Structure 1
């Protein structure tokens, strides 16, 4: 995952015929490729076959979701000239803050390059794409960068590269995988949770404004269309928690089963306190069990700066919680402010969002 800049960009870079296309190991030039913006289904299908179907926590329909949710969303697909042979991908969206006195920022993510084309010349092409999309060097860019993409990120931002360090990192991201055999799928984990004073409702049965307003308490940037569509995903089991004391929303959660690998991704899971997050998940887990849908494993994201995001799931496990490093959340000029990480138990979708 990565980060970059804002401004329309020529939909395609012209190039040579396939017969003169470069050998994968040879330096790639701009005239060797087509760069498409929000490409047609033919190219999307080629990407899915080359890489998309193997990607966790992703499905083809996500492209339409992202494009319909954000007017300036751009998915960049680089292919060999005149073909559907996919070389690399990235995408960009501008996030506008709820507080209009604050600056917008550009999120870059979905960064991938076919291993056969990974060389400095090909990276330079991707860097040029970023500079086309975000031409103003003063624009703040953010994203989630793993160690493999660190060199690219430093090139992009004009920072000195060190193999063992990532500059301008605001957070560290982790990923946990739990097989179904590791989970208390019978719901027994929820029996030890204090759920008193909490009412759980299906996301489809509550006012959309309730979901949007709670989301904006944690993520202070506009994404109203997205969060509603995501919470109503047909493959999901979204819940909203209300406090019996004052009737206000005290948490939201979604768990979606992705059919390509039958993984279940939890996110978002936002809550006022751990027992609310656990109560929401207990209800989602029960619905998953009752649905009869197959799940191979659960994917859970967590972050160093989100203090409750790692061990909250412990009551539902037959093993101890574990996690491994996956990325750093990075910024070009300044780290986003006012994100309430104390309420983040699982982020929403790190391919497009900060949390």
Structure 2
């Protein structure tokens, strides 16, 4: 069933833009019991300069000793320059010696590094498999050698494909359609086999369309910031086909709340969907973007991709029951936060010119 949200008023949007401090406090408060358990722990985040990884590192840094490993091919130094008290290693996860040194003396390895993005992975199928599969194996071998306390691996909702009708359960069938999704499926098997053989607890999270401020909104970027960017420019918002294909859009703070919770005892040796449990059509997403921003217009265009998944939605019953996870950011509110962040960034760049 497609979710229906009420749009924000101009007053609501203004309040969102000025609520930065309360939002920061709210972000720190979510899952605070779990994050307290990580106090003083040494945590390596591979891919920590990416969108999700950098936000995760920012949450962790006041509590734990965070090291980021990233080759900065898709991650950005701008994402982490404002995070205090972190260590940064510039390197490729396929470099066994470098990875072994990075993992040594760590308590927890959070493996987020991957070649991602629909067009990028389609254009680079061999690199995608080498980075995502061989790189993961390298990280796992180092984690086993170092006898870390936990490995957390971030997977994807693309695992489910479209063979069955959503919502998707963690114990249901998978039908990956892309090389990226296939690599993630292989990696989940790797994580379980390596960790079970070594007696190391693991956690696997299947993220559903995570979005938020500072996410790539370029032509080859992600759909939420891309739509918002087009709306802010009072430009056309291109929707492929009818736009009735659906996704489960998960705001970054909700995804990170689930991630922090999963690193507690309840997340040991478990796989969780991280979504909202609501479907939203791409057409409705475009309408939300235009409505929240107050500009932009929708056009329908031919889908250039060689494949399409018609529906995607998470069953989050397990995460709710086991982790106490409860997504709290309605899509229009999340879009408003993305728009506010873009406006601030644009004003900052204008001042620097």
Relative to the length of structure 2, the TM-score reads 0.27
Q: Whose RCO is larger (CA < 8 A, sep 6+)?
A: 1
Who wins on radius of gyration, i.e. which is larger? 1
More helix by share: 2
TM-score (norm 1): 0.27
